[in-house]
Structure 1
Amino acid sequence: MKTFLRIIGGLVVLGIVCLLAFIFVPVQRSAPAEELAANWEPEPGQGEYVMHASDCVACHTAEGGEPLAGGRAIASPMGTIWSTNITPDAETGIGEWSYDDFRAAMVDGIAKGGTHLYPAMPYENYRLMKEEDIRALYDYLMAEVEPVSNEVQETQLKFPFNLRFGIRAWNWLALTHDAGFNPVGASELQDRGQYLVEGPGHCAACHSPRTPFMSQDGVTADEDSFLTGGVIDGWNAPALRGEGSAPQAWSVGELADYLATGRNAHSAANGEMGLVVEHSLQYLTDEDNLAMAAFLKGMDGAKVETPETVADAGPIVTPDPEADDAGRETAEMLISADPEMPLGARLYTDNCIGCHFATGKGAPGIFPELQDNHLVTGSETKPLISVILNGAEVPGTAKRPMTLRMQGYADRMSDDEVAELATWLRKAWGNDAGAVSASDVAAVRGADATH
């Protein structure tokens, strides 16, 4: 009863906050659009390139649907949000939108007619984009994308989240950065990478933590919490800075390779990151993926001045001898095939060792490492359980056209066995993460069956 009353009380307070926001908080709009030269025109292909860099396709295309015609279900803590049709269809898309309408959506989260967009649209990040890129994107969508008539399902969140005027208060708390890009000035290469990471790439939308108000805690590089890791629908978006992060442990070349292809000598992209590679990053130039990698590396102290030096930039941390010793011990135990091995190790030998090997190092560019793999050792166990149950797929890209698939073991292993294997993986080769229970596995298996 007390819990019920607390929930009701919280909803009442939130409703009052939304009402006060409607009365007292004005609609927040940024400065007017920057005046571009009267004869300004986007560079050939600029708008399409910005569309890819901004990852528009991944959210605005339903599974099996027409590109950019909307209808994709986006999970959020408040409920399911349905992405909009951004083709130039006059009835169901944005065909009647002016540039000012479009810019208001990108920069302030306000659609034509004054409707507040839910922040599943990452306008917190897009507001950092350059004016010419926003204009080029608008011109591309209006002139080069085929209009598609697609009436998207209306988003209907439960009270009080269905009261969109309450987003005024949220914007007042969240949009603390002026529109436009402010480079750190580390180097021309890193500044380009910073722009792509902060603005169109909206990396902080996943890889920064969230405040109690669910806004991004760290939107730009001058904030300490920027890219220090987040959780999206039960999946870890790992930290991209600090001790143990991939940019710290990998070379700039390895990181750029991962961005462009979803795979490198250490890891493979899964979940939402796989979609980012498939729909966005593979279409960027080598120079831009290198620039992003150089910027991410530079946040931890590596100095990369020119593209010519990027491929030679190595890790800024030295190998951990203790982790290497632990890795050797695990490998020797697996190779021994001792019948007294723990169940998790025996399950690994029966099902996994052929691809990931006794060392847990896998095959570079094909089978990812399991030692120090953030999917294996992350705070959220759902990703690892899901991969064991359902398998995984790394899509083919222009540079790596072969699609990689791992089979699932849902029909082969019980909940107890999956829990034993996952727990063992999180402790093997020097990994140091908590145990997985059979109930954890059952929850993921049940959710998959419902879905």
Structure 2
Amino acid sequence: MKKMLKGLGAALCVALPFIARAPADAATPAATGAADQTLVQRGAYLAQLGDCAACHTAPKGKPFAGGLPMNTPMGRIYVTNITPDARTGIGGYTEADFARALREGVAKDGHNLYPAMPYPSYAKVDDDDVKALYAFFMHGVAPVQQANRESDIKWPLNMRWPLMFWNMAFLEKGAYRDKPGKDVAWNRGAYLVQGLGHCGSCHTPRGVAFQESALDESGSAFLSGALLDGWFASNLTGEHNTGLGRWSDEDLRTFLKTGANRHASAFGAMTSVINNSTQAMSDQDVAAVSTYLKSLPPVGGTGAAAYTYDPQATKVSLDRPANDAGARVYTAYCMHCHGVDGHGFAPMLAPLAGNPNVLAKDASSLINVTLNGTGDLVIDGVPSPFPMPGFAAVLDDQQIADVLSFVRAGWNNGAPAVGAAEVAKLRQSTQAGR
């Protein structure tokens, strides 16, 4: 029973069908009335803010037609078609149906959605933005007849009825309301981060029922970092070492628009967020998000003293011949990009000295990116020239543990060592099916 409950809880975090299949003779609101092109264009922008394409467009697939496979502990699922096709998409959805699915997690036919479709965040989207999003998906997206695939999740973990009780306990209904005493930029940033941006879905730890531990800044765990699908989503609070405490407003705005700055580079799921969402944000909205995030007090971290750069001990370790196993791997495979001084060539090549991802207590992201590399950042249509390659086929578990332990200790980083068993575990989970 304990194993079953644990599996069911994990299933609650799986992004499963958002959309019910419409019957062949269903009414198609998408075909009725003339679209307000201004509203459609606004909806297109909002869909980018919500990063809808990242989940609902498969590689080489048609926009928003679904089909993206996602592996879960219970089996593989396939993301759904949200084009305005009447038979296989959402062409039969009224605006009220759309709003209910988006903000309450209930599809047109009444079935509950799994909350990895981030409706607990989208619940904060206001009526005007829901209307614009609906206009875009009905009039700005080409209909694609592509049937949704059933998931591989077996009974009883595929049951939906427990989600009614989950929603009663954890769904906070109601659009975002401006906080008194905060200026326009702060409130706009809060609305975007908490709502369409759904930043908490990845960056906030989850509780025993896999609910986000906090949905806004009133909760101490909000955006304090969380493990998700083999990556550790970074701390976005003002914490000095592992958060944004050392980032200036300009640093943060640069990262949101380009995916890289003098402190770090995007990888893992954040690459898709930069490519599909944040780089398209207006300068005003980027500034608002930065204003809000930079206002968050420091939470989490490792409790270590504030980071200060010190290259001396690392420089000695790297003197040829390198005098420990991790240093030898670093000189052979890493130093030409990340440098003897650990500063890399930011923003083109990420620094390792003082990088918040290196300083984090959880080394999952470092292990994952070393094993598997990361996808290209594509800014204004131009791919990044130096993406991180994967070393799974080149380095064994002990070598990766050695080099990451060296990096986490180097340049006064002072982060815990990495064990070969940790590497082996992530290798197995991330390489399955490749």
2:58 maps to which residue? 62
What is aligned with 1:229? 225
Which residue of structure 2 lines up, in the alignment, with residue 315 of structure 1? none
Paired residues of 2:371 and 2:392 also in contact (CA < 8 A): yes
Specify the alignment match of 2:214 in structure 1: 218
Distance 1:389 1:229, change over 3 A: closer
Assess if the C-alpha contact under 8 Å between 1:81 and 1:155 holds in 2.
yes
Counterpart-to-counterpart distance in 1, 2:110 and 2:339:
57
> Once the two structures are superposed, what CA deviation does each residue of 1:259-302 show, in whole Å capped at 9, x if it has no partner?
1111111111000111111111111112211211111001239x
- In our comparison, the structure showing a higher alpha carbon Rg is 1
Does residue 324 in structure 1 map to residue 303 in structure 2? no
Counterpart residue type for residue 246 of structure 2:
A
- Contact kept, 8 Å, 2:352 with 2:407, in 1: the verdict is yes
TM-score, normalising length: structure 2:
0.85
Residue of structure 2 in register with 1:298 after alignment: 295
Q: By how many angstroms is 1:11 displaced?
A: 8.0
Distance 1:164 1:411, change over 3 A: closer
Distance of 1:53 and 1:47 partners within structure 2: 10
Q: Within 1, Cα distance between the matches of 2:105 and 2:422?
A: 37
Alignment of 1:135 onto 2:118: no
- The worse-fitting range, judged by mean Cα deviation, of 233-242 and 50-59 is 233-242
**Structure 2 residue aligned with 1:182:** 177
**Counterpart check, 1:259 vs 2:243:** no
> Partner of 2:15 in structure 1?
none
Shift of 1:122: 0.4
- Partner amino acid, structure 2, of 1:182: R
Residues 403, 47 of structure 1: CA spacing in aligned structure 2 closer, same or farther, 3 A cutoff? farther
TM-score, length-scaled by structure 1: 0.82
Label 1:403 to 1:45 Cα distance change in 2 as closer, same or farther (>3 A). farther
Indicate if the aligned counterparts of 1:236 and 1:379 stay in contact, CA closer than 8 A. Answer: no
Describe the superposition over 1:19-61 as per-residue Cα deviations: whole angstroms up to 9, x where unpaired: xxxxxxxxxxxxxxxxxxxx99954620100110011000111
Taking every aligned residue pair, what percent have the same amino acid on both sides?
Answer: 36
* Alpha-carbon distance between aligned partners in 1 of 2:216 and 2:382, rounded to the nearest angstrom: 31
1:343: which partner in 2? 325
For the structure 1 residues 11 and 261, does the alpha-carbon distance in structure 2 shift closer, same or farther, using more than 3 Å as the test? closer
Query: Is 1:282 matched with 2:270?
Result: no
Change in Cα spacing, 1:300 to 1:274, as seen in structure 2 (3 Å) is same
Specify every segment of 5 or more residues in structure 2 that has no aligned partner in the other structure, as ranges: 10-34, 299-304
CA distance in 2 between partners of 1:6 and 1:256 (Å): 45
For residues 270 and 131 of structure 2, the distance between their equivalents in structure 1, rounded to whole angstroms, comes to 27
**Residues 17-166 of structure 1 mapped to structure 2, 5 A cutoff:** 43=39, 45-76=41-72, 79-166=75-162
Map 1:384-423; keep pairs closer than 5 Å.
384-398=366-380, 402-423=384-405
Does the 8 Å contact 1:371/1:430 carry over to 2?
Answer: yes
What value does the CA root-mean-square deviation take over the aligned residues?
2.6
- Secondary structure in 1 matching 2:227: strand
Q: 1:12 to 1:286 in 2, by over 3 A?
A: closer
In structure 1, what residue type is equivalent to 2:295? G
**Counterpart AA for 1:96:** G
| Contact map agreement 1:389 1:410 (CA 8 A) in 2 | yes
Structure 1 position 444 matched with structure 2 position 426: yes
In 2, Cα distance between the equivalents of 1:418 and 1:114?
Answer: 48
> SS at 1:102's partner residue?
helix
Give the superposition deviation at 1:214: 0.5
Query: C-alpha offsets along residues 166-213 of structure 1, whole Å, 9 cap, x if unaligned?
Result: 1001101111x2310122342211111111101000001011110111
Identify which of 243, 248, 253 aligns with 2:239: 243
Provide the C-alpha distance between the structure 2 equivalents of 1:12 and 1:269, rounded to a whole number of angstroms. Answer: 30
Q: How many residues align?
A: 400
Write 1 or 2 for the structure with the bigger share of helix. Answer: 1
Counterpart CA distance in 2 for 1:126 and 1:384 is 30
User: Is the CA contact (8 Å cut-off) linking 2:267 and 2:375 kept in structure 1?
Assistant: yes
In the alignment, the residues of structure 1 paired with residue 127 and residue 191 of structure 2 have an alpha-carbon distance, to the nearest angstrom, of 13
Judge conservation of contact 2:223–2:237 (CA < 8 Å) in 1: yes
Q: Structure 1 stretches of 5 or more lacking a match? A: 15-38, 302-319
Distance in 2 (alpha carbons) for counterparts of 1:103 and 1:424: 50
Structure 2 Cα separation of the partners of residues 47 and 7 of structure 1: 42
